[in-house]
Structure 1
Amino acid sequence: MGKFSSYTQYLIGRVVIMKYTLITGATGGLGKALAFRLAQKQETLLLVGRNSDKLQTLSEELSGEHHIFCSDLSDAEAVAALKCWTQENLGLPSTVINCAGAGLFGSLESLDDKDIQQSLIDNLLPIIYPCKAFVPDMKQAGGVIVNVMSTAALKGKAGESVYCTAKWGVRGFTESLREEVKGSQLRVVAVYPAGMATGFWENTGVNYPVESFMSAEQAAEMIVAALGQVNKGFVSDITLSR
């Protein structure tokens, strides 16, 4: 599964730390764009997504050292399996970028109850569970957790009530997590991108001027540039406006 090579590593207690970045939601949109951007910077990557075919295609397109792992991160047992695999094969990541999520749009009364429930599952748990898995060791070892949300986490929007609810939930979780790890070597970064021209909008039924949105590649470039300053200071919140 993926490619293996030698890595710069060191030990803190019994924790093996590798210099690699774990990206969730890596098969499309911003997650995929970040994978390509970081590969250009010759960073080693672990790419996680739910679709094995898309992961394999991404692996074939991507240059540099990288690994792929297919997992549904809304499943706690699947996240535990991911952590176990990293411990056995790669060690602890130095950076975790959580991009996994899904959209749900429409007036509240038009939404199906099952879709509402699934939206909360798809947007909250794939952020919470990976953080729960990796934060304890990263508090000791150091590193960066990046939770990617949306400007929907900053301002309520008509037709996005449930989506905003989910993203505001991730925002509250991220800010609370930051308080919990204060004083440790772990940094928690919140990213709020405005709309991007990606496949995210397909089959959503919304009529936004997507052609005027920033590209995922442009957003990835800005995020990587900002994250490059984390060790020189604490970049806690990154908002990407159109």
Structure 2
Amino acid sequence: MAQREGGRRIAIVTGSALGLGYELTRQLIEAGWFVAGIDFNEERQLELAKEFPADAYRAFIGDVSDEIFVKRSVGEIARIGHVDLLINNAGQPSFKTPTAYEAADVDKCLKGLKGMILWSVETLRACEERDLKIANVMSTAATRGNANESVYCATKWGEKGYTQSLKAAYKGTSVKIVGVYPGGIDTDFYRESHDYVSIDKQHTFMRPDELALVILFNLVNDANLTVSDILIERNYV
């Protein structure tokens, strides 16, 4: 196995700048991981580069669906050491009535699916298809149809199909594929859709730090076991 950064395990987290991605990154670093964080938000990435130690976090700034950026970034990360974990977390929301969708909305939502595929393929190549866990963070929208989320659901269902296909392709190998399906999260993800998801409703959603804790508890452990699907809903009180 390739030498790890400072003896640490190495993770790639896409969409690392804010929300769930940030919490996953922060908690992995606290657990002793080296994280390569991927995000297009340059301002936030520069902040994270100051927040986290240089030997624990490296920021990559770019579009997760840009193939050239993906290839270059994975190449640089692979030179640091063997990648143990890829978390495909980046995604683009779009919540509208069915007749309000336009081509630009479709392209926006498809960035998440395209990015998931590109990062998975390049990381698998860099790892020579061995000793790797890939966690694809989607949504409960991948498990059902929701009103005013038709295009968003379509892309999430596509991500689920891709995830299930990877599982079949790598069954019985040292590559493990995990599908993560969280319900609503209290972040700025819905900021452009408050006519559909009100601020009051949003604040009843799951906290990103608690959600990250549950995901990583199931995803990263020393047991010789793999939780293949993680479906997480908020408690109703």
Determine if the TM-score, normalized by the shorter chain, exceeds 0.5: yes
> Residue by residue, what CA displacement relative to the aligned partner does 1:172-215 show, whole Å, maximum 9, x if unpaired?
00000111111220100010010010011111242341111111
Q: Structure 1 residue 85: deviation in Å?
A: 1.3
Aligned to 2:207: 215
Aligned to 2:14: 24
Amino acid at match of 1:87: A
Aligned to 2:61: 70
Give the superposed CA RMSD: 1.8
Match of 1:195 among 179, 184, 204: 184
Tell me how many residue pairs correspond in the alignment: 227
Aligned to 1:84: 75
Aligned to 1:56: 46
Q: Structure 1 residue 108: deviation in Å?
A: 1.4
Q: Structure 1 residue 128: deviation in Å?
A: 0.5
Contact conserved, 1:139 with 1:185, CA < 8 A, in 2?
A: no
Q: Structure 1 residue 6: deviation in Å?
A: 4.8
Aligned to 1:12: none
> In the TM superposition, what are the counterparts of 1:152-231 in structure 2 within 5 Å?
152-205=141-194, 206-208=196-198, 209-229=201-221, 231=223
2:6 counterpart of 1:7? yes
Q: Distance in 2 between matches of 1:175 and 1:72?
A: 25
> Structure 1 residues 145, 230: CA separation in 2 closer, same or farther (over 3 Å shift)?
farther
Aligned to 2:230: 238
**Sequence identity (%):** 29
> Structure 1 residues 66, 30: CA separation in 2 closer, same or farther (over 3 Å shift)?
same
**Structure 1 residue matching 2:28: 3-state secondary structure:** helix
> Structure 1 residues 34, 133: CA separation in 2 closer, same or farther (over 3 Å shift)?
same
Q: Which runs of 5+ in 2 are unaligned?
A: none
> Residue by residue, what CA displacement relative to the aligned partner does 1:118-168 show, whole Å, maximum 9, x if unpaired?
222x22111000001012344643121000000000111010000000000
Contact conserved, 1:69 with 1:82, CA < 8 A, in 2?
A: yes
> Structure 1 residues 55, 232: CA separation in 2 closer, same or farther (over 3 Å shift)?
same
> Structure 1 residues 230, 135: CA separation in 2 closer, same or farther (over 3 Å shift)?
farther
Contact conserved, 2:70 with 2:119, CA < 8 A, in 1?
A: yes
User: After alignment, is 28-37 or 61-70 more displaced?
Assistant: 61-70
Contact conserved, 2:85 with 2:134, CA < 8 A, in 1?
A: yes
Aligned to 2:134: 145
